[in-house]
Amino acid sequence: MGRGKMKILLIWPPLPEYCVLTQEFSCCEPLGLEYIAAPVIDKFGVEILDMRFDKNLLEVLKQKEPDIVGLSIPYTTTVNVCNDLLKIIKAYNPNIKVIIGGHHPTVGLRHISTEYVDYVIVGEGVETLRNLLEAIAQNGDLREINGLAFKASGEFIYNKSYELQTLDYYPQPARNLTAKYRDKYFHAHYKPVALMRFSYGCPYNCSFCVLWKLCNRKYISRNNELVVKELLELDNENIYVVDDEAFINTDNMNDLADRIQKNNIKKKYHMYVRSDTVAKNPGLFEKWASIGLDSVLMGLESIFEDDLNEYNKSISSKTAYESLKILHSNGVEVRANFIIKPDYSKEKFHLVRKAVEQYDIDRPTFAVLTPFYGTDEYEKVKDKFIIEKLEFFDCYHTFMKTALPLKEFYYEFAELFKCAQNRKKDGNKEKVFYAGKSENSFEEMIDKMKGSYIFY
C-alpha cells in the first residue's frame, strides 16, 4: 500500500485511576513512539495519540478510522488501563490490526488481554515495526521479522529476538507528531523538556533491575555527530537524557562534550549516572558541568553496605560520598534515590533521613524495593507476595511482608519525603525530586502513600 492507503494510530496510554506519582510531577514526551514512527511516516499515514491529554479513544477511532493501532504498554502500572483500551479498539472494529509493545510486553505477556492483540513487538521496535507494516501492506512473511510475536491459531509465535547492533540508523524522532502537546511536556522543574538518547543498554547487573537482561548487558553509544545534529534542531533548552547511564563510554562523552562546546550549543542537561563513574572521572564531569550538565539522578540505593552487596551494585557508600563532593564542587545538582526494603525498622528509616542531611543531597527521592517481573529480585521472592496489584508496581508500594505494621511502614516511608521537603539550606526551602504543579500536589502524594495500607 502507498502513503495514505494504510493509516497507523500510535497510542501512549493514560495513567491508571489510582496513581501516587501523577503527571502533576512529570509528564514527558513518548519518545519511543516518536522513534518508531519516524521511518514509516513517509510511506504510511501515521499519527500519535497521547491519552494523558486526549482521553476519548472511541471518538478518535471514529475520526481517524485507522487500519492499524499500536499501543504502548510502557509500565506494569498501566496494564489494566491498556487492557480496557484494547477492548475498546476491537469492539469498535474487529478488523483493526492491533500491535502492542513497550517494556511490559517485552518482559512478558502476563496480565495482558492478548485476545485483543494481533502482534507483539519485543524490545527495540524501530526496525521491527517498519518491517511489520511493510509485511502487512504486501502480505509478506511474518516469520522473517526479528523481534516480533504474531498470533497463529490463537497462540503467539515468537520469532528470533532482535539484536541491536547500532543506534546510528535510527532517524531523528518524529516530534512533529506530538507538536500539539509540546508545551505540556515537563519533568520536575524542567519545563518544557525534550527527551534524548545518547546510548543503549547497561553492562551492570543490579538484582532489582531487568534492563541489563533485556539488552544482554550490551552497551552501545550513539554516533556523536547524530547527537549534535539533534541538539542543534531542538528548540528546548532543557534536555532529559533517558539512557540507563550515558557516561559509561567516557571517551565518547569526552568527545561529545567537545563537539557541544565547538558548536556553541547552550542547553541544560539532566542525566542518570552511577556514583562510581563520577568518582573515577572527576575531570569529565567538570567538563560537562561547563557545557550545561545541570543535574544528575544517581541510584545511591542504600547507606547500608549489606544492601549494596545484595543488590549487586558494585559500589560502596564511600564511593557515593566521593561522587557527591565532585558533583557539588562543579555546581551540579544531585538527585539521589534510596531503596527502602520492606524489612526496615524505625531505626533504619531514621538513619536514611540522617544520611540525606549528611550527604547534603539536593533532591533526594525514595523507592520501595519492588520485585519487577523478570528481575532476579522477582524470582527470589515471587512466592511470598502479600499483594499483586498491578498499579503498585510504581516503586511506592511493598509486595512483601513488612517488619513494621503496614500502616506504620507507609507512615515512615512518607515521612522520608516530608523530612526531605522540610529541609532548609541557605535560608531557602529545599524541595524533593517531585515538585508538583500546584501547592497541593506534594501533600496529596504524601496522603496517598500514608493511606496505601488500606489496600492489603
- Sign, CA torsion 68/32/391/183: negative
Task: Write down the mean pLDDT value for the chain.
Answer: 93
pLDDT at 421: 84
* Cell numbers placing 269: 542537561
CA dihedral (382, 388, 393, 399) in degrees, to 10, reads -60
CA 258 – CA 288 distance, rounded (Å): 9
220-262 residue pLDDT tens = 999 999 999 999 999 999 999 999 999 999 999 999 999 999 9
Rounded to 10°, the helix 250-262/224-233 angle is 40
Closest by alpha carbon to 116, among 134, 141, 91? Answer: 91
Q: In 197-316, where does DSSP find H-type helix?
A: 211-214, 224-233, 250-262, 275-280, 282-291, 305-310
Confidence (pTM): 0.94
Query: Residue 313 and residue 336: Cα distance in Å, rounded?
Result: 15
Residue 43: Cβ within 10 Å count: 18
Taking only the tens place, the pLDDT of each residue in 78-127 is 999 999 999 999 999 999 999 999 999 999 999 999 999 999 999 999 99
Task: Flag whether pLDDT at 364 surpasses 70.
Answer: yes
Furthest CA-CA distance within the chain = 67
pLDDT band for 316, please (50, 70, 90 cuts).
confident
Q: 265: exposed, middle or buried (C-beta count within 10 Å: 0-12, 13-18, 19+)? A: middle
Say yes or no to pLDDT of 3 above 60.
Answer: no
Residue 93 φ/ψ, nearest 5 degrees: -155, 100
CB-based burial of residue 422 (10 Å sphere; 0-12 exposed, 13-18 middle, 19+ buried)? exposed
pLDDT score of 73 more than 60: yes
Cell representation of residue 257: 562534550
Q: DSSP state, 222?
A: P
Q: What is the mean pLDDT of residues 413-427?
A: 82
**At 422, is the pLDDT very low, low, confident or very high (cuts 50, 70, 90)?**
confident
- Expressed in angstroms, the distance from the first to the final Cα of the chain is 52
Structure confidence by residue, pLDDT tens digits, 268-313: 999 999 999 999 999 999 999 999 999 999 988 888 989 888 988 8
